[in-house]
Amino acid sequence: MIRVLVADDQALVRAGVRMLLQAAGGMEVVGEAVDGAEAERLAAQLTPDVILMDLRMPRVDGLEATRRILAAAPSAKIVVLTTFAEDANVYAALRAGALGFLVKDDEPERMVDAVRRAAIGEQLLAPSVLRRVVERALAAEDVRAESTPAAHLTDRELDVLTLLGSGLSNNEIAELLHVGVTTVKTHVGAVMEKLGLRNRIQAAVVAHRMGLVDAHFRPITRPAP
């Protein structure tokens, strides 16, 4: 059973999400928050598997709540909810460590799928979206190469980091390197841990800062299979 916390200041939205997820089966809404402060409190109290976080809420907004929750629990799995995909706060939340985002008028099936994927830690971003987020992060200089201990990475981990910087999925990386997806997941986890990163967005930014990937998201040196 996937335990979900829903944070949204609109009661109708919370009720709709609860009905949708519980009807889908295998999911339970264990808490509802009306603002970011309550979301932070309930996240610590309930330790849900997935948090659906509205960005626009009173008192403490979803972006600040996302930052606070991830600072306290870096492994928390947050999917942000937004009215507009181009909301600047969406990109800030993703850079902070959210796994992805949903636009509120998306098809209901997308929310169900997103919750299931987020529960296993899967990034919820198409390559095109990942690139936009990385480009914004690079422009803001959110991550600097000198802060990344690249020397601690193995050659294969550097290969994986390079391909993360190109916006590739685990399946695509596995195919290029001729290894299993489970092996790729192991390498991705090691890269994240060694570099102190929360998600693939931060890894992609680091890859660019380290010069592993060019401005067109192409590897500078193609990893060997």
DSSP string, 4-18: EEEE-S-HHHHHHHH
Axis crossing angle, helix 127-140 with helix 88-96, rounded to the nearest 10: 90
The answer on 54 and 98 residing in a single domain is yes
pLDDT of residue 128: 67
Sign of the CA dihedral running 112, 118, 122, 126: positive
pLDDT of residue 220: 85
The answer on 162 and 108 residing in a single domain is no
How many Cβ atoms from other residues are within 10 Å of residue 129's Cβ? 19
The answer on 200 and 92 residing in a single domain is no
Quote the pTM value. Answer: 0.76
| Structural domain total, the chain | 2
Cα 43 to the chain's mean position, in Å? 17
Non-local CB neighbours of 86 within 8 Å, separated by 6+ positions: none
Split the chain (225 residues) into runs of 10 and give each run's mean pLDDT.
97 95 95 97 97 94 96 92 81 86 87 91 73 76 51 88 88 92 92 85 86 85 70
The answer on 150 and 84 residing in a single domain is no
Helix (H, G, I), strand (E, B) or coil at 29: strand
CATH number at residue 179: 1.10.10.10
Sign of the CA dihedral running 39, 41, 44, 47: negative
Q: Which domain holds residue 106?
A: 2-124
